[in-house]
A and B are shown apart, each in its own frame.
Chain A
Amino acid sequence: KNEVEQSPQNLTAQEGEFITINCSYSVGISALHWLQQHPGGGIVSLFMLSSGKKKHGRLIATINIQEKHSSLHITASHPRDSAVYICAVDTSGSRLTFGEGTQLTVNP
Protein backbone atom coordinates (compact mmCIF):
# COMPACT_ATOMS: atom_id res chain seq x y z
CA LYS A 1 0.00 0.00 0.00
CA ASN A 2 1.32 3.45 -0.90
CA GLU A 3 2.03 5.85 1.94
CA VAL A 4 0.03 8.52 0.10
CA GLU A 5 -3.24 7.70 -1.64
CA GLN A 6 -5.19 10.13 -3.76
CA SER A 7 -8.71 9.93 -5.09
CA PRO A 8 -10.06 10.11 -7.62
CA GLN A 9 -7.32 9.26 -10.14
CA ASN A 10 -9.24 11.02 -12.90
CA LEU A 11 -11.91 13.67 -12.65
CA THR A 12 -13.91 15.37 -15.38
CA ALA A 13 -16.06 18.38 -14.53
CA GLN A 14 -18.08 21.05 -16.25
CA GLU A 15 -17.00 24.65 -15.96
CA GLY A 16 -18.37 26.19 -12.80
CA GLU A 17 -18.58 22.98 -10.79
CA PHE A 18 -17.19 22.59 -7.26
CA ILE A 19 -14.35 20.06 -7.22
CA THR A 20 -12.86 18.02 -4.39
CA ILE A 21 -9.70 15.95 -4.53
CA ASN A 22 -8.83 13.77 -1.54
CA CYS A 23 -5.52 12.65 -0.09
CA SER A 24 -4.98 10.07 2.66
CA TYR A 25 -1.64 9.19 4.17
CA SER A 26 -0.45 6.52 6.54
CA VAL A 27 2.68 8.02 8.11
CA GLY A 28 3.43 10.76 10.58
CA ILE A 29 4.07 14.03 8.80
CA SER A 30 5.45 17.47 9.51
CA ALA A 31 3.52 19.03 6.60
CA LEU A 32 1.43 18.22 3.56
CA HIS A 33 1.84 19.87 0.17
CA TRP A 34 -0.56 20.28 -2.72
CA LEU A 35 1.10 20.72 -6.09
CA GLN A 36 -0.25 21.43 -9.56
CA GLN A 37 1.45 20.01 -12.64
CA HIS A 38 0.58 21.67 -15.92
CA PRO A 39 0.25 19.76 -19.20
CA GLY A 40 3.68 21.06 -20.21
CA GLY A 41 5.19 19.41 -17.13
CA GLY A 42 5.87 22.40 -14.89
CA ILE A 43 5.08 22.00 -11.18
CA VAL A 44 3.64 24.77 -9.02
CA SER A 45 3.32 24.62 -5.26
CA LEU A 46 -0.25 25.47 -4.27
CA PHE A 47 -0.31 24.96 -0.51
CA MET A 48 1.78 23.74 2.39
CA LEU A 49 -0.32 22.74 5.41
CA SER A 50 0.43 21.41 8.84
CA SER A 51 -3.02 22.03 10.33
CA GLY A 52 -6.42 23.56 9.61
CA LYS A 53 -7.32 25.24 6.38
CA LYS A 54 -5.79 27.57 3.81
CA LYS A 55 -7.42 29.53 1.00
CA HIS A 56 -5.93 31.14 -2.07
CA GLY A 57 -8.35 32.56 -4.60
CA ARG A 58 -10.70 29.77 -5.68
CA LEU A 59 -8.58 27.08 -4.07
CA ILE A 60 -9.09 25.79 -0.54
CA ALA A 61 -7.00 23.13 1.19
CA THR A 62 -7.87 21.45 4.47
CA ILE A 63 -6.11 18.90 6.60
CA ASN A 64 -7.24 16.67 9.46
CA ILE A 65 -4.13 15.44 11.24
CA GLN A 66 -5.99 12.96 13.45
CA GLU A 67 -7.65 11.31 10.47
CA LYS A 68 -4.53 11.61 8.28
CA HIS A 69 -6.57 13.17 5.50
CA SER A 70 -6.47 16.28 3.37
CA SER A 71 -8.75 17.73 0.71
CA LEU A 72 -8.20 20.22 -2.07
CA HIS A 73 -11.30 22.10 -3.20
CA ILE A 74 -11.69 24.21 -6.32
CA THR A 75 -14.70 26.50 -6.43
CA ALA A 76 -16.20 27.75 -9.71
CA SER A 77 -13.89 25.53 -11.75
CA HIS A 78 -12.55 26.78 -15.07
CA PRO A 79 -10.93 25.02 -18.04
CA ARG A 80 -7.59 26.59 -17.09
CA ASP A 81 -7.74 24.54 -13.85
CA SER A 82 -7.20 21.41 -15.98
CA ALA A 83 -3.98 19.86 -14.70
CA VAL A 84 -2.65 17.06 -12.53
CA TYR A 85 -2.98 17.78 -8.81
CA ILE A 86 -0.48 16.03 -6.59
CA CYS A 87 -0.53 15.53 -2.84
CA ALA A 88 2.84 15.12 -1.13
CA VAL A 89 3.72 14.55 2.51
CA ASP A 90 6.84 15.74 4.28
CA THR A 91 7.88 13.17 6.86
CA SER A 92 11.14 14.66 8.05
CA GLY A 93 11.41 18.28 6.99
CA SER A 94 13.33 17.18 3.97
CA ARG A 95 11.90 14.49 1.78
CA LEU A 96 8.53 14.55 0.07
CA THR A 97 6.59 11.37 -0.64
CA PHE A 98 4.12 11.87 -3.48
CA GLY A 99 0.70 10.54 -4.33
CA GLU A 100 0.05 9.36 -7.84
CA GLY A 101 -1.82 12.51 -8.76
CA THR A 102 -5.34 13.35 -9.88
CA GLN A 103 -5.85 14.26 -13.52
CA LEU A 104 -8.50 17.00 -13.61
CA THR A 105 -10.21 18.01 -16.83
CA VAL A 106 -12.66 20.91 -16.78
CA ASN A 107 -14.79 21.22 -19.88
CA PRO A 108 -16.25 24.54 -21.03
Chain B
Amino acid sequence: DSGVTQTPKHLITATGQRVTLRCSPRSGDLSVYWYQQSLDQGLQFLIQYYNGEERAKGNILERFSAQQFPDLHSELNLSSLELGDSALYFCASSVDIGGTQYFGPGTRLLVL
Protein backbone atom coordinates (compact mmCIF):
# COMPACT_ATOMS: atom_id res chain seq x y z
CA ASP B 1 0.00 0.00 0.00
CA SER B 2 1.65 3.24 -1.20
CA GLY B 3 -0.48 5.50 1.00
CA VAL B 4 -1.98 7.21 -2.05
CA THR B 5 -5.69 6.66 -2.46
CA GLN B 6 -7.80 7.08 -5.56
CA THR B 7 -11.54 6.93 -5.99
CA PRO B 8 -13.42 5.49 -7.64
CA LYS B 9 -11.60 2.27 -8.60
CA HIS B 10 -13.78 1.70 -11.63
CA LEU B 11 -15.99 4.03 -13.62
CA ILE B 12 -18.22 3.23 -16.56
CA THR B 13 -19.87 6.09 -18.36
CA ALA B 14 -21.15 7.17 -21.76
CA THR B 15 -19.67 9.39 -24.43
CA GLY B 16 -20.30 13.07 -23.85
CA GLN B 17 -20.47 12.73 -20.08
CA ARG B 18 -18.28 14.33 -17.42
CA VAL B 19 -16.52 12.53 -14.57
CA THR B 20 -14.34 13.49 -11.63
CA LEU B 21 -11.48 11.37 -10.38
CA ARG B 22 -10.19 11.95 -6.89
CA CYS B 23 -6.74 11.47 -5.39
CA SER B 24 -5.49 11.78 -1.82
CA PRO B 25 -1.69 11.94 -1.59
CA ARG B 26 0.45 10.36 1.10
CA SER B 27 0.48 12.29 4.33
CA GLY B 28 3.07 15.06 4.03
CA ASP B 29 3.46 14.90 0.26
CA LEU B 30 3.04 18.26 -1.45
CA SER B 31 3.32 17.18 -5.10
CA VAL B 32 0.55 15.39 -6.95
CA TYR B 33 0.92 14.01 -10.47
CA TRP B 34 -1.72 12.64 -12.85
CA TYR B 35 -0.97 10.04 -15.51
CA GLN B 36 -3.01 8.31 -18.19
CA GLN B 37 -2.28 4.75 -19.30
CA SER B 38 -4.02 3.61 -22.45
CA LEU B 39 -3.39 0.53 -24.56
CA ASP B 40 -2.17 2.47 -27.59
CA GLN B 41 -0.30 5.36 -25.90
CA GLY B 42 1.20 3.71 -22.83
CA LEU B 43 1.81 5.83 -19.74
CA GLN B 44 1.66 9.59 -20.29
CA PHE B 45 2.13 12.48 -17.91
CA LEU B 46 -0.89 14.76 -17.72
CA ILE B 47 -0.29 17.41 -15.07
CA GLN B 48 1.48 18.14 -11.79
CA TYR B 49 0.49 20.25 -8.81
CA TYR B 50 2.73 21.38 -6.01
CA ASN B 51 1.22 22.74 -2.81
CA GLY B 52 -1.92 23.87 -4.56
CA GLU B 53 -0.31 25.40 -7.63
CA GLU B 54 -0.03 23.97 -11.12
CA ARG B 55 3.63 23.12 -11.65
CA ALA B 56 3.86 21.34 -15.02
CA LYS B 57 1.56 20.36 -17.82
CA GLY B 58 1.96 17.44 -20.19
CA ASN B 59 -0.29 15.88 -22.78
CA ILE B 60 -3.51 16.97 -21.15
CA LEU B 61 -6.44 17.63 -23.41
CA GLU B 62 -8.38 20.88 -23.13
CA ARG B 63 -11.44 18.81 -22.14
CA PHE B 64 -9.53 17.74 -19.04
CA SER B 65 -8.80 19.90 -16.04
CA ALA B 66 -7.41 19.36 -12.58
CA GLN B 67 -6.91 21.14 -9.32
CA GLN B 68 -5.28 20.62 -5.95
CA PHE B 69 -7.19 21.75 -2.89
CA PRO B 70 -5.87 23.32 0.34
CA ASP B 71 -5.94 19.91 2.04
CA LEU B 72 -3.69 18.72 -0.84
CA HIS B 73 -6.12 16.25 -2.33
CA SER B 74 -6.52 16.58 -6.07
CA GLU B 75 -9.28 16.06 -8.60
CA LEU B 76 -9.05 15.37 -12.31
CA ASN B 77 -12.12 16.39 -14.28
CA LEU B 78 -12.74 14.79 -17.64
CA SER B 79 -15.53 16.24 -19.77
CA SER B 80 -17.15 15.58 -23.16
CA LEU B 81 -15.83 12.07 -22.86
CA GLU B 82 -14.89 10.13 -25.95
CA LEU B 83 -14.32 6.42 -26.47
CA GLY B 84 -10.58 7.07 -26.68
CA ASP B 85 -10.54 8.44 -23.14
CA SER B 86 -11.00 4.91 -21.83
CA ALA B 87 -7.84 4.23 -19.85
CA LEU B 88 -6.30 3.74 -16.44
CA TYR B 89 -5.74 7.04 -14.69
CA PHE B 90 -3.05 7.08 -12.03
CA CYS B 91 -2.31 9.64 -9.42
CA ALA B 92 1.11 9.76 -7.77
CA SER B 93 2.54 11.90 -5.01
CA SER B 94 5.98 12.90 -3.78
CA VAL B 95 7.27 14.87 -0.84
CA ASP B 96 8.79 17.53 -3.00
CA ILE B 97 9.32 18.31 -6.68
CA GLY B 98 11.29 15.61 -8.48
CA GLY B 99 11.44 13.02 -5.71
CA THR B 100 10.40 9.38 -5.65
CA GLN B 101 6.79 9.13 -6.75
CA TYR B 102 4.30 6.88 -4.97
CA PHE B 103 1.48 5.69 -7.17
CA GLY B 104 -2.14 5.19 -6.26
CA PRO B 105 -4.03 2.08 -7.38
CA GLY B 106 -5.53 3.87 -10.36
CA THR B 107 -9.04 4.52 -11.64
CA ARG B 108 -10.13 2.38 -14.56
CA LEU B 109 -12.38 4.47 -16.83
CA LEU B 110 -14.49 2.86 -19.51
CA VAL B 111 -16.37 5.13 -21.88
CA LEU B 112 -19.11 3.38 -23.83
Q: List 6 extra interface pairs beyond A43-B90, A44-B103, CB under 8 A.
A: A30-B98, A31-B98, A35-B103, A42-B105, A43-B103, A48-B100
Query: Interface residues of B: mostly helix, strand, loop or mixed?
Result: strand
Cβ contacts A to B, 23 pairs, < 8 Å: A35-B103, A41-B105, A41-B106, A41-B108, A42-B105, A43-B92, A43-B103, A45-B100, A45-B101, A45-B103, A48-B99, A48-B100, A93-B97, A93-B98, A94-B48, A94-B55, A94-B56, A95-B58, A96-B43, A96-B45, A98-B43, A100-B42, A101-B42
Number of interface residues of B (CB under 8 A): 24
Q: Which residues of A contact B48 (CB under 8 A)?
A: 94-95
B51 within 8 A of A: no
Q: How far is the CA of A32 from the CA of B105 in the complex (A)?
A: 22
Q: How far is the CA of A97 from the CA of B42 in the complex (A)?
A: 10
A86 within 8 A of B: yes
Show the binding face of B for A, using Cβ within 8 Å: 2, 33, 35, 42-45, 48, 55-56, 58, 88, 90, 92, 97-103, 105-106, 108
Query: Interface residues of A: mostly helix, strand, loop or mixed?
Result: strand
Q: Which residues of A contact B55 (CB under 8 A)?
A: 94
Q: Identify which of residues 16-45 in chain A touch chain B, using a CB-to-CB cut-off of 8 Å.
A: 30-31, 33, 35, 41-45
